[in-house]
Amino acid sequence: MSLNGRAEFGAARDALQGGAGPVSFTVLHAAGTLACSGRLTGAFAGEGRCRFSADPRFEAALAERGLAPDHRADLIAMLLVDATVDLADGLTREGVKPKDNGDLIAAAALDVTPAYVHDLKSDAMVLTDIDDAIACKALDVDGPYVRGLAAAGYRNLAARDVVAMKAMDVSPDYARAMNRARGSGQ
């Protein structure tokens, strides 16, 4: 879990960077509250216990969207990776609706945002599934890469084909060169 960059982890970061001695902090998130206490042996080193209290409104909102958590640990994971109802709704608006809470957790963990999905959409790639958006992010497929494939003559590729091209390190320049050598587009 990274404590950098997320405001709700500010108190935890501040408490854990202190010296040896007792420590306690609380993390507030839409998923619920994580209250921790223990003893530090040094900065960011020690032991303790945490108690998680889920927010029933968050659970209800997820259930309304077909994303009800299967296990309590899923709610803790949502807190840790910042999986929110707003993220689920935004992905749905972009046409890649999470099918279950695992999809939402994976999207949040990899920072698959509505803006990222929107940027991926182009003439080169058909993107209609959250799993494909997650795979794209895992392989660092981005908007410029996809638009580069479109400029190289590739249109309406399945997302899995774009992911395969990226996995094989096919750059838009390479795709253009291959098309020139072949004397045609896609």
| Joined tokens for residue 172 | 């838009």
H-helix segments, the chain: 10-16, 56-64, 72-81, 85-93, 101-109, 114-120, 130-138, 143-151, 159-167, 172-182
**Which candidate, 49, 51, 46, 69, places its Cα nearest to that of 59?**
69
Q: Is 42 domain-assigned?
A: no
- Residue 2 has a pLDDT of 54
- Residue 3 has a pLDDT of 56
- Residue 6 has a pLDDT of 86
- Residue 178 has a pLDDT of 86
- Residue 25 has a pLDDT of 95
Q: Is 99 domain-assigned?
A: no
- Residue 179 has a pLDDT of 82
Q: Is 68 domain-assigned?
A: no
**Which candidate, 41, 63, 38, places its Cα nearest to that of 49?**
38
- Residue 183 has a pLDDT of 73
Q: Is 143 domain-assigned?
A: yes
Domain count, the chain: 1
- Residue 181 has a pLDDT of 87
- Residue 150 has a pLDDT of 92
Q: Which domain holds residue 134?
A: 111-186
Rounded to a whole number of angstroms, the distance between the first and last alpha carbons of the chain is 43
Q: Is 78 domain-assigned?
A: no
Dihedral sign for Cα atoms in the order 85, 35, 53, 73? positive
Say if residues 135 and 110 touch (Cβ distance below 8 Å): no
Q: Residue-wise pLDDT tens for the chain (186 aa)?
A: 555 678 888 889 899 998 899 999 999 999 999 999 999 999 999 999 999 999 999 999 999 999 999 899 999 999 999 999 999 999 999 999 999 999 999 999 999 999 999 999 988 899 999 999 999 999 999 999 999 999 998 989 999 999 999 999 999 999 999 888 887 555
Q: Is 41 domain-assigned?
A: no
Distance CA 182, CA 107 (A): 38
Q: Is 21 domain-assigned?
A: no
Q: Is 76 domain-assigned?
A: no
